[in-house]
């Protein structure tokens, strides 16, 4: 709808003021306030200067020139020169009917379908997943789902940290402290492995000789020493199983392609940089000097692609990954979902990738960054003893708290529910709450983790949204109505303002999803769904459904059913599933 209006207004602007406005944005946006109508055109205001005319006069000319069909109320001019656009209720009713019969509830597929890599989650082998991985995993999954729904072919890649100095470190440490881990599967559990990792890291940081041995271990690994490779594989296997538990719990699908995958391609990256005349030796390391990055003295800063000892680092791996994804995966776009702290790194890597033509101009490189997860007090989230919180225990706690709440409610309401019901509901509500709390926040800022807030039944939370869906299902149960087989003949009748408001909101979904595809901010979808729930609850409050006379009843059932469909779809794009009862 908004695109159509933009086209119509652009045509009108050209007709009224000439061809030079061909590329001028008609500035048609959703109305800032419902009392101004559904959309508004702000073009008159910004054209005032260019055309040296009174904005209200320009607005009048626009109104006189624009050709709208009978779906719209007559245009009105308000304030300094705003043109307000209102759709007629009959037109809304018609659209609702057509959307109701559409499997995609009115959301179009992208006109150009791309191949897109979404690189997210990316935990490290031999370490447990912690809250830091939560945002990348949840946001990345949601972005992938949104793009998939728009019809793009998405390759979800898990760029796990399965290579590098830390491996040499760990293997070297295990060789003396716990050699059986290197030869036997599951010799210790993952928690102990993490402890050993920390010990190894501590030793690495204070012991120069150990550092040296660790580096040699890396070289052995790189040279495919069979014993080293075996040990490495065992460690990876064990970690992988651990990750799978989390991914299964969160219903996340990912293709693992870790750093080690790009290992064989690292030397050719150096060669390419060399032939492109980008490579420079600096203090023994191979570097590419960057535009726009300078040190204290104002000298350009290098991106190190090959260390003095001949080893490669993550910048090199990222460059090799870009090359592979462009050449082999034939991707049109690569999206990296990582914390904001890596912003600099990606700017640098992207710059080098462009310069070396590893990524041609028509391949988009996008860093989707996000802020830190903070504790309730606003500092980095930690356990009481100062350890980072394991993701598994964090999720378990959310589910347990939900279960507690649910059991209390069942008791006070004197309901009888099975154990299976209680478990299933608390699992879905608890995990959804964690996901929703994260996604409903603008990802670019830090975010405060609070069980109380995310599990609150009121406000912009998963339980509130899920409840709106449950209410619709309740109606269908109570009235013994099959929502999938509602009459398609009946008209939509607006007897109360709340029905029209709900209907208009439902029709905004298409616009929201398209915006989402551009700005990759899932919180905008959350806000939309929250508002949908509110508008539905207002409708539910004011418009009885089952007692209404037949024609009104069907009209309201369609609105309720459509609300549920939008809710289910929207939540699924956030990686959240719905419940029939709760």
Site residues for RNA, 382-421, by CB under 7 A, read 406, 409
Q: Is 185 in the site for RNA (CB under 7 A)?
A: no
Decide: 353 and 347 in contact? Cβ < 8 Å.
Answer: no
**Within 482-511, which residues bind RNA (CB under 7 A)?**
none
Q: Does 65 bind RNA (CB under 7 A)?
A: no
| Sites for RNA among residues 9-28 (CB under 7 A) | 25, 27-28
Indicate the helix (H) or strand (E) that contains 302: strand 300-306
Paired tokens of 442 = 């603008």
Q: 472 with 564: CB under 8 angstroms?
A: yes
> Which residues neighbour 233 within 8 Å (Cβ) at sequence distance 6 or greater?
none
Tell me phi and psi for residue 254, to 5 degrees: -145, 145
| Nearest-approach distance from CB 153 to RNA, in angstroms | 26
Contact residue for RNA among 351, 534, 568, 572 (CB under 7 A): 534
Q: What are phi and psi of 263, to 5 degrees?
A: -50, -45
By CB under 7 A, name the one of 62, 273, 529, 582 that touches RNA: 582
Nearer to RNA, 147 or 373 (CB): 373
Q: Measure the CA–CA gap between 439 and 526, rounded to whole angstroms.
A: 7
Strand ranges in 65-113 using DSSP code E only, listed in sequence order? 76-78, 82-85
Exactly one of 31, 51, 187, 188 binds RNA (CB under 7 A); that residue is 31
Element (H, E) at 466: helix 462-478
Compute φ and ψ for 40, nearest 5 degrees. Answer: -140, 150
Kindly tell me which residue out of 183, 282, 487, 491 binds RNA, with binding defined by CB under 7 A.
282
470 belongs to the binding site for RNA (CB under 7 A): yes
Nearer to RNA, 250 or 475 (CB): 475
Q: Any contact of residue 202 with RNA (CB under 7 A)?
A: no
Among 226, 295, 362, 480, contact with RNA (rule: CB under 7 A)? 295
CA–CA distance, 33 with 16 (Å, rounded to integer) = 28
Question: How far apart are alpha carbons 154 and 141 in whole angstroms?
Answer: 11
29 binds RNA (CB under 7 A): yes
Indicate the DSSP class of residue 521.
-
The minimum distance between CB 268 and RNA, in angstroms, equals 18
The dihedrals phi and psi of 71, each to the nearest 5 degrees, come to -75, -15
Q: Indicate which single residue of 38, 128, 259, 438 sits in contact with RNA (rule: CB under 7 A).
A: 259
Tell me: does residue 340 bind RNA (CB under 7 A): yes
Select from 10, 40, 158, 555 the one that contacts RNA (CB under 7 A). 40
For 430, other C-beta atoms within 10 Å of its C-beta total: 26
Q: How far is the CB of 103 from RNA (least distance, A)?
A: 26
Residues 363-382 contacting RNA, CB under 7 A: 372, 374, 378, 380
What are 213's two structure tokens?
Answer: 């041995």
Q: How far apart are CA 333 and CA 117, in angstroms?
A: 6
Distance in Å, CB of 186 to RNA, minimum: 25
- Interaction between residue 342 and RNA (CB under 7 A): yes
Match 């309740």 to its residue by tokens. Answer: 474
CA distance linking residue 169 with residue 177, whole number of Å = 12
Q: Is the dihedral of CA 294, 299, 304, 308 positive or negative?
A: negative
Segment lying near RNA (by CB under 7 A), choices 76-84, 92-100, 188-196, 390-398: 76-84
Closer to RNA by CB, 55 or 575: give it. Answer: 55
User: Which residues 212-241 are close enough to bind RNA by CB under 7 A?
Assistant: none
Q: Is 451 in the site for RNA (CB under 7 A)?
A: no
Q: Which residues, in sequence order, are bridge partners of residue 289?
A: 302
Residue whose tokens read 């204290």: 296
Cα separation, 462 vs 455, in Å, equals 7
**Is 290 a binder of RNA (CB under 7 A)?**
no
Residue number with CB closer to RNA (60 or 442)? 442
CB 358 within 8 A of CB 272: yes
Which of 99, 182, 529, 545 binds RNA (CB under 7 A)? It is: 545
Which CB, 187 or 278, lies closer to RNA? 278
- Per CB under 7 A, the list member of 22, 206, 296, 384 interacting with RNA is 296
By the rule CB under 7 A, 570 interacts with RNA: no
Binding segment (CB under 7 A) for RNA, from list 9-17, 65-73, 391-399, 542-550? 542-550
- The residue among 88 and 478 lying less far from RNA, judged by its C-beta, is 478
Whole-angstrom distance, CA of residue 343 vs CA of residue 259: 19
The answer to whether 311 contacts RNA (rule: CB under 7 A) is yes
Q: Which residue in the set 9, 262, 464, 494 belongs to the binding site for RNA (CB under 7 A)? A: 464
CA 505 to each of CA 59, 241, 322, 527, 574: distance values in angstroms, whole numbers, following the listed order: 27, 43, 40, 12, 19
Q: Which stretch binds RNA (CB under 7 A): 41-49, 138-146, 183-191, 389-397?
A: 41-49
CB count, 10 Å around CB of 539?
Answer: 23
Contacts (CB under 7 A) with RNA, residues 125-164: 161, 164
At closest approach, how far in Å is the CB of 7 from RNA? 13
Does residue 313 interact with RNA by CB under 7 A? yes
Q: How far is the CB of 555 from RNA (least distance, A)?
A: 13
**Interface segment toward RNA; rule CB under 7 A; list 9-17, 309-317, 321-329, 355-363:** 309-317
- Regarding 36 and contact with RNA (CB under 7 A), the answer is yes
Find the shortest distance in angstroms from Cβ 329 to RNA.
19
Q: How far apart are CA 582 and CA 566, in angstroms?
A: 19
Least CB distance to RNA at residue 467 (A): 4
List 279's β-bridge partners, or say none: 288
């Amino acid at each position: 709808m908004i695109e159509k209006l933009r086209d119509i207004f652009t045509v009108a602007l050209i007709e009224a003021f000439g061809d030079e406005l061909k590329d001028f944005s008609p500035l048609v946006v959703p109305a800032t306030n419902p009392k101004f109508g559904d959309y508004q055109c702000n073009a008159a205001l910004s054209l005032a200067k260019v055309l040296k005319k009174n904005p209200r006069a320009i607005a009048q000319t626009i109104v006189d020139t624009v050709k709208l069909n009978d779906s719209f109320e007559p245009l009105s001019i308000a304030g300094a020169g705003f043109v307000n656009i209102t759709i007629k209720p009959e037109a809304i009713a018609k659209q609702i009917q057509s959307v109701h019969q559409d499997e995609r509830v009115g959301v179009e597929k992208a006109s150009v379908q791309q191949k897109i890599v979404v690189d997210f989650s990316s935990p490290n082998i031999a370490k447990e997943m912690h809250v830091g991985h939560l945002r990348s995993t949840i946001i990345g999954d949601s972005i992938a789902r949104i793009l998939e729904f728009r019809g793009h072919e998405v390759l979800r890649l898990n760029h796990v940290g399965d290579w590098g100095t830390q491996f040499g470190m760990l293997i070297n440490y295990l060789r003396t402290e716990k050699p059986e881990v290197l030869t036997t599967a599951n010799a210790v559990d993952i928690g102990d492995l993490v402890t050993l990792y920390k010990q190894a890291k501590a030793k690495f940081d204070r012991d120069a000789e150990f550092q040296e041995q660790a580096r040699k271990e890396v070289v052995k690994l790189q040279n495919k020493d069979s014993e080293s490779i075996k040990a490495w594989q065992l460690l990876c296997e064990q970690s992988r199983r651990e990750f799978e538990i989390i991914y299964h719990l969160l219903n996340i699908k990912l293709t693992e392609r870790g750093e080690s995958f790009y290992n064989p391609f690292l030397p050719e990256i150096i060669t390419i940089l060399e032939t492109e005349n980008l490579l420079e030796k600096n203090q023994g390391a191979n570097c590419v000097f960057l535009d726009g990055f300078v040190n204290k003295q104002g000298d350009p800063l290098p991106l190190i692609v090959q260390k003095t000892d001949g080893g490669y680092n993550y910048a090199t791996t990222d460059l090799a990954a870009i090359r592979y994804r462009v050449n082999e995966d034939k991707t049109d776009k690569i999206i990296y979902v990582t914390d904001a702290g890596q912003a600099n790194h990606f700017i640098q890597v992207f710059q080098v990738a462009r310069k070396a033509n590893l990524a041609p101009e028509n391949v988009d490189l996008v860093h989707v960054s996000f802020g830190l997860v903070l504790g309730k007090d606003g500092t980095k989230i930690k356990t009481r003893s100062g350890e980072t919180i394991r993701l598994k225990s964090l999720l378990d706690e959310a589910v347990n708290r939900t279960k507690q709440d649910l059991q209390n409610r069942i008791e006070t309401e004197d309901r009888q529910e099975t154990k299976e019901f209680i478990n299933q509901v608390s699992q879905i509500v608890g995990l959804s709450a964690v996901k929703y709390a994260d996604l409903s926040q603008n990802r670019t800022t830090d975010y405060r983790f609070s069980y109380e807030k995310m599990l609150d039944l009121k406000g912009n939370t998963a339980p509130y949204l899920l409840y709106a869906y449950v209410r619709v299902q309740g109606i269908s149960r109570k009235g013994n109505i099959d929502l999938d087989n509602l009459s398609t003949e009946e008209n939509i009748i607006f007897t109360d303002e709340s029905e029209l408001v709900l209907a208009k909101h439902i029709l905004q979904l298409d616009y929201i999803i398209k915006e989402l595809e551009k700005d990759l901010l899932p919180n905008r979808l959350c806000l939309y769904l929250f508002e949908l729930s509110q508008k539905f609850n207002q409708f539910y409050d004011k418009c009885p459904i089952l007692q209404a006379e037949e024609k009104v009843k069907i009209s309201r059932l369609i609105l309720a059913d459509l609300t549920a469909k939008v809710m289910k779809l929207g939540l699924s794009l956030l990686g959240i599933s719905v419940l029939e009862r709760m």
